[in-house]
Amino acid sequence: MTKFTDLALDPKVLQAIAEAGYETPTPIQAQAIPHALEGRDVLGIAQTGTGKTASFTLPLITMLAKGRARARMPRSLVLAPTRELAAQVAENFDIYAKHTKLTKALLIGGVSFGEQDKLIDRGVDVLIATPGRLLDHFERGKLLLTGVQVMVVDEADRMLDMGFIPDIERIFQLTPFTRQTLFFSATMAPEIERITNTFLTAPARIEVARQATTSENIEQRLIEVKPSRKDRSFAEKRAVLRALIEAEGEACTNAIIFCNRKMDVDVVAKSLKQHGFNAAPIHGDLDQSQRSRTLDAFRDGSLHLLVASDVAARGLDIPAVSHVFNFDVPSHPEDYVHRIGRTGRAGRKGKAFTLATPSDEKYLANVESLVKQPIPRGENPLPQVRPEAETAEESAPRRTSRSRSTSRNTPRGAPREGAEVVAERAPEQDAARPAERSTDRPHDRAPERAPREDRSRSGRSDRRDPVVVGMGSHVPDFILRSLARSRPASDTEAAPETGAEADGE
């Protein structure tokens, strides 16, 4: 069996590895480190939790042991998609380079430019950054990439999902052509393969597991949730989630709960806390200081449940996560592999539960197609799930809308039943109303009005004059009636009455 002492690493690095308690490298480490030490480009494909970070950190420290950094010109560059993953790489560097004099700088969002500029001005051996913040420093003229000897791209498929591929291509063009490139990804999408063919030179391809496979140490279960009503789906899923956590009992020492949307992360975390669970949210809209405090609390065990968006699906190196709950089926099937990969790490056993509603059928089919196997179905702990009680705010709008529509269709002083009462009163009102006289000429004849019963049933109010909305096919009476000419008094009795006189009787 291969050991770290067989990999030609720097003695100071081997000392740090031994102090960390490691003796045997993982498969990706055993295969990638020798090629990296030879100066070859490396294309590593391995699922999350297999030790990819150390597979480039250890040879990087060994290769940079000789040499000196210059101001604003880092000797190596490590790109990570998220702040958490970049911080994890920085922690690994601190562990394995503690017996060397190598320096590092961490460029991530949420931290002031001033402190980062001071580190760059002194000169660093290893620059660890997210793509956006790195280009910000470069465009401000605070950074030069012409001295980069080794460039590392970690979690490249996540870069693709987050839209960083154009930034990665630009950064590649800013670095020397003679650089060594170490490229790591859990999956190989066509766009990722195009980049490797463009910017890597005869790379050593290392694939320790089939692409997008899940660990055998993880027990997977799919819980089908059939909501009683579509608008109650979210509340009933929260009830099922709480029942699953309670059913696991003490076996659930800690857990990560993944949601697709940031706003759902906050709602689920708040709901769990209201029901007595020790939970906290983490997503990209939170301040970096708050995200760091939440992660530290989860690592030291003071936080039991971490509700996260996919920003935390990558780069969380917490070996002792016992459970993962997918509150939503991920829209990108690759995210399923990374989410459940947070548990069952370092040879431990883990459990992953996924909640799925009938509307998730398409996403679920994509996930099962990617992993090449159906997810085993589990039993719903709440087959007759009852949603959380509706608050007054949720139920008030429905009552208001009913009352408005009723009052609108009901005449003043009439009971709330509305149309039926109006229909009964209509004939009496029509009988009491004087009949309108018709003129001899066809064009002067007033149009026939719909019976009062029909107007009542159609929802119109019981007013004397009908409500006219636009002209349409109905022309008001006063337009069709001719104006009476002044006539002698002797002719007044014989003359027909005008419409205005008739209405005035």
pLDDT of 9 higher than 70: yes
- Structural element, H or E, at residue 219: strand 218-224
Q: How far is CA 174 from the centre of its chain?
A: 32
Number of domains in the chain: 3
Q: Would you say residue 187 lies in a domain?
A: yes
Q: What is the distance between the alpha carbons of residues 227 and 233, in angstroms, rounded to a whole number?
A: 5
Q: Would you say residue 265 lies in a domain?
A: yes
Same domain? 349 vs 489:
no
Q: Would you say residue 397 lies in a domain?
A: no
* Closest C-alpha among 97, 138, 102 to residue 117: 138
Q: Which of 354, 371, 388 is the last residue of a domain?
A: 371
Q: Which of 207, 230, 262 is the last residue of a domain?
A: 207
Q: How many helices (H) and strands (E) does the chain have?
A: 20, 13
% of the chain residues with pLDDT over 70 = 72
* Closest C-alpha among 327, 158, 360, 335 to residue 255: 327
- Report the CATH number that the domain containing residue 312 is assigned in CATH: 3.40.50.300
pLDDT band at 166 (very low <50, low <70, confident <90, very high): very high
Residue 292: the pLDDT is: 84
What mean pLDDT is predicted for residues 151-172? 90
Q: How far is CA 488 from the centre of its chain?
A: 85
DSSP 203: -
**Residue 106 CB partners (closer than 8 Å, separation 6+):** 86, 87, 90, 116, 128, 129
pLDDT tens-digit map of 174-209: 999 999 999 998 778 888 899 999 999 999 999 886
Average pLDDT of the chain?
79
Q: From residue 215, how far is each of 371, 381, 442 by CA, in Å? A: 11, 25, 88
% of the chain residues with pLDDT over 90 = 48
Both structure tokens of 174: 């800013």
pLDDT of 77 higher than 60: yes
Q: What is the distance between the alpha carbons of residues 205 and 182, in angstroms, rounded to a whole number?
A: 10
What mean pLDDT is predicted for residues 164-180? 94
- Output the 3-class SS for 312-325: HCCCCCCCCCCEEE
Same domain? 351 vs 326:
yes
Q: Is the pTM of this model over 0.75?
A: no
Q: What is the distance between the alpha carbons of residues 54 and 13, in angstroms, rounded to a whole number?
A: 11
Residue 430: the pLDDT is: 43
> Which range of residues forms the domain containing residue 108?
4-207
Same domain? 198 vs 229:
no
What mean pLDDT is predicted for residues 137-147? 93
pLDDT of 152 higher than 90: yes
In degrees and rounded to multiples of 5, residue 118 shows phi and psi of: -65, -40
pLDDT tens-digit map of 424-477: 444 444 444 444 444 444 444 444 444 444 444 444 444 455 555 555 556 667
Q: Would you say residue 213 lies in a domain?
A: no
Same domain? 122 vs 254:
no
> Range with the lowest mean pLDDT among 65-79, 127-141, 457-471?
457-471
Decide: 316 and 345 in contact? Cβ < 8 Å: no
Q: From residue 209, how far is each of 335, 484, 502 by CA, in Å? A: 17, 98, 95
Residue 135: the pLDDT is: 95
Q: Would you say residue 400 lies in a domain?
A: no
Same domain? 351 vs 484:
no
Residue 21: the pLDDT is: 86
Same domain? 19 vs 166:
yes
Q: What is the distance between the alpha carbons of residues 195 and 212, in angstroms, rounded to a whole number?
A: 19
pLDDT of 386 higher than 70: no
Q: From residue 183, how far is each of 98, 167, 345, 378 by CA, in Å? A: 25, 15, 22, 38
Task: Considering only CA atoms, give the Rg of the chain.
Answer: 37
Residue found under tokens 């998730």 = 360
Decide: 60 and 35 in contact? Cβ < 8 Å: no
**Order of strands, sheet of 204-207, starting from the edge strand that comes earlier in the sequence:** 104-107, 126-129, 76-79, 150-153, 180-185, 42-45, 204-207
More confident residue, 416 or 150: 150
Residue 265: the pLDDT is: 94
What mean pLDDT is predicted for residues 127-144? 94
Same domain? 356 vs 445:
no
pLDDT tens-digit map of 323-372: 999 999 998 887 888 888 888 877 788 999 999 999 999 999 999 998 88
Instruction: Give the β-pairing of 204-207 and 42-45.
Output: parallel
Same domain? 364 vs 299:
yes
Same domain? 172 vs 250:
no
Decide: 223 and 240 in contact? Cβ < 8 Å: yes
Q: Would you say residue 379 lies in a domain?
A: no
- Output the 3-class SS for 339-372: HHCCCCCCCCCEEEEEEECHHHHHHHHHHHHHHC
Q: Which ranges of 341-475 would DSSP assign to H, the alpha helix?
A: 361-371, 392-409, 419-432, 452-457
More confident residue, 459 or 254: 254
pLDDT band at 267 (very low <50, low <70, confident <90, very high): very high
Question: Inter-axis angle of helices 11-20 and 52-63, to 10 degrees?
Answer: 150
Maximum alpha-carbon separation in the chain: 131
What mean pLDDT is predicted for residues 297-318? 82
Same domain? 226 vs 160:
no
Both structure tokens of 493: 């009795």
Same domain? 234 vs 340:
yes
Please report the DSSP string for 236-281 in residue order: HHHHHHHHHHHHHGGG-S-EEEE-SSHHHHHHHHHHHHHTT--EEE
pLDDT of 52 higher than 90: no
Q: Would you say residue 343 lies in a domain?
A: yes
Same domain? 261 vs 333:
yes
Both structure tokens of 164: 């960083």
pLDDT band at 56 (very low <50, low <70, confident <90, very high): very high
Q: Which of 346, 371, 396 is the last residue of a domain?
A: 371
Q: Would you say residue 291 lies in a domain?
A: yes
Both structure tokens of 295: 């992660």
DSSP 70: B
Residue found under tokens 């990804």 = 185
